[in-house]
Amino acid sequence: MLCQECGVKPATLHFTKIVSGEKTEFHICESCAREKGELIPGTAGGFSIHSLLSGLLDLEGAGKEKTAATKNVQGLHCENCGMTYSQFSKLGRFGCSSCYKYFDSTLDPLFRRVHGSTAHVGKLPKRAGAQIMCKRQVNELKQELQESIIQEEFETAAQLRDQIRKLEKEMAQE
């Protein structure tokens, strides 16, 4: 069979593409395949980041016994968009912002693998961010408070406590 693109070289690649139910068959030679791939850049790879991710997510249960805990994970689903955990682990993508809440118990290990970290430290949205900035500050102060109590620096601790109260009051007023 000759290549359907150039009609010169013999077709060496045969594949079927299905896009929303529409089936298209291709019989092409290697150099046209390369061209075709470049025609719609990015589609040539095939092995996307999402398939790689779903591999990572599958690891969650792999190696371990199927305990009640992993079964629970499999049963998780997002009540907002309806995505189940197993769909999420296949697609490697969240369905909506609430998925983050419903799958929260499984996300720390995933984020640690992908990013080496589990919490955001970067930019905050300005409007919603004022509260968050305050919360971040309160959390930092609370840590300092704990430390000063352990160090038995009670004077500093008292100052920190007052600062925390003041910030929390401000936040409640907003």
Partner 1 sequence: MSSLRFTEQALSNWMRCGGSHSEIVISSRMRIARNLEHLPFPLLASAEQAEEALEQLAPVFQGEAAEGFGSFELLRLDDLTELDKKVLVEKHLISPNLANDSRGGAVILNEDESVSIMINEEDHLRIQCLFPGLQVKEAWERATAIDDIFEASVNYAFDDRRGYLTSCPTNVGTGLRASVMLHLPALVMTHQINRILSAVNQVGLTVRGIYGEGSEAVGNIFQISNQITLGQTESEIIENLHSVVTQIIEHERNARERLLSDSALRITDRIKRSYGILAYAAVMELKESAQRLSDLRLGVDLGILEGPSISVLNELNVKTQPGFLQKMFGDELSATERDMYRAKLLRETLGTQH
Binding site for partner 1 (CB under 8 A): 5-6, 8, 31-32, 34-35, 38-50, 53, 80-81, 83, 91-97, 100, 107, 110-111, 114-128, 132, 135
DSSP class per residue in 54-112: HHHHHHTTTTS---HHHHHHHH-B-TTT--BHHHHHHH-S-SSTTHHHHTHHHHHHHHH
- Report helix, strand or coil for 51: helix
Intra-chain end-to-end CA distance of the chain, in Å: 73
Indicate the residue among 45 and 150 with the shorter CB distance to partner 1: 45
Indicate the residue among 50 and 142 with the shorter CB distance to partner 1: 50
Indicate the residue among 107 and 149 with the shorter CB distance to partner 1: 107
Indicate the residue among 67 and 97 with the shorter CB distance to partner 1: 97
Q: How far is the CB of 139 from partner 1 (least distance, A)?
A: 10
Q: How far is the CB of 143 from partner 1 (least distance, A)?
A: 16
Ramachandran category for residue 26: left, alpha or beta (phi over 0 → left; psi -120 to 50 → alpha): beta
Q: How far is the CB of 156 from partner 1 (least distance, A)?
A: 27
Q: How far is the CB of 150 from partner 1 (least distance, A)?
A: 25
**Largest Cα–Cα distance of the chain, in whole Å?**
88
Indicate the residue among 100 and 154 with the shorter CB distance to partner 1: 100
Q: How far is the CB of 111 from partner 1 (least distance, A)?
A: 6
Angstrom distance (rounded) from CA 110 to CA 117:
9
Phi, psi (degrees; rounded to nearest 5) at 159: -60, -45
Angstrom distance (rounded) from CA 129 to CA 131:
5
